[in-house]
Amino acid sequence: MPELPEVETTVRGLERVLEGHWIARIEARRPDLRRALPVDLGQRLTGARITSLGRRAKYGLIGTDRHDTLIFHLGMSGRWRVDPTEIGKHDHFIMETDDGRRVALNDPRRFGSLDLVRSDQLAEWPPFAALGPEPLEVSPEELKRRLAGRTASIKLLLLDQGIIAGLGNIYVCEALYRAGIHPKRPGGSISMERLRRLVPAIHDVLAEAIAAGGSTLRDFASPDGDLGYFSKSFAVYDREGQPCACGGRVRRIVQGGRSTFYCPHCQR
């Protein structure tokens, strides 16, 4: 499942192909993904110039000079294919540029989405309106304010998109490990001193994953070079029963229906 670093890597990959170019043609090969595609996609995008690529939480943003933003979400299995040699049955949306490049949104399970929103109304778009700050931008002070009075576990609160946007299970587990914070600790009880370790840990785990994804972009020119997925090794995530660097063993518990991996010796 694509997490924030995969989305960021995808956006950077698409930026190289799309930014500054005009959209010569689009093709929606089915009417919906998770929800219906905008019916006026072709009318609003064809002939527009792509002026910006960005990301908000786990959404990719493709802005045009017509003040529209095409918003994509990769869902469970989505990825963009750049200059695919053949169009396959899971390539649901295709965009071609004036210089003959072609990108295809491939999504076998179709949990992804495509929306078109006026660029000056992005902040009010319902999925964005309730989002917390970006994890790469949040400060310890702001996180402290957002956790204040909350008795739920820090693990679950960090997965709450209204507190901090786009942080997935893997990166929450890894950041709590690096900060030495027990995943069951109530969010509101965490000291400022510990939040000053947690916030840089969140920044670091994401930045390292984005850098690892960036290295996969070296294969970008290969005919079927997919954007968006890469593997990375983790300190605790998916390592139940394996040794921690401290000599203890990684433990797995279930919180909110999802696995948490942590080291009971290193995390208090």
Would you tell me which residues interact with Zn ion (CB under 5 A)?
Answer: 244, 246, 248, 263, 265-266
Residue 164 structure tokens: 């901090």
Q: Smallest Cα–Cα separation from 180: which of 136, 140, 235, 138? A: 235
For the bound state, the minimum distance from the C-beta of residue 228 to Zn ion, rounded and expressed in Å, comes to 32
Task: Note if 58 is an active site residue.
Answer: yes
**Residues facing 79 on adjacent strands:** 106
Q: Which is nearer to Zn ion, 80 or 262 (CB)?
A: 262
Task: Note if 258 is an active site residue.
Answer: yes
What is the widest separation between alpha-carbon atoms in the chain? 60
In one letter, which amino acid is 158? L
For the bound state, the minimum distance from the C-beta of residue 253 to Zn ion, rounded and expressed in Å, comes to 15
For the bound state, the minimum distance from the C-beta of residue 246 to Zn ion, rounded and expressed in Å, comes to 3
| Residue of 44, 56, 58, 102 marked active site | 58
Sign of CA dihedral 201, 204, 208, 209: positive
Q: Smallest Cα–Cα separation from 82: which of 256, 199, 216? A: 216
Residue 98 dihedral angles phi and psi, to the nearest 5°:
-60, -25
Q: Which is nearer to Zn ion, 59 or 261 (CB)?
A: 261
Residue numbers annotated as active site? 2-3, 58, 258
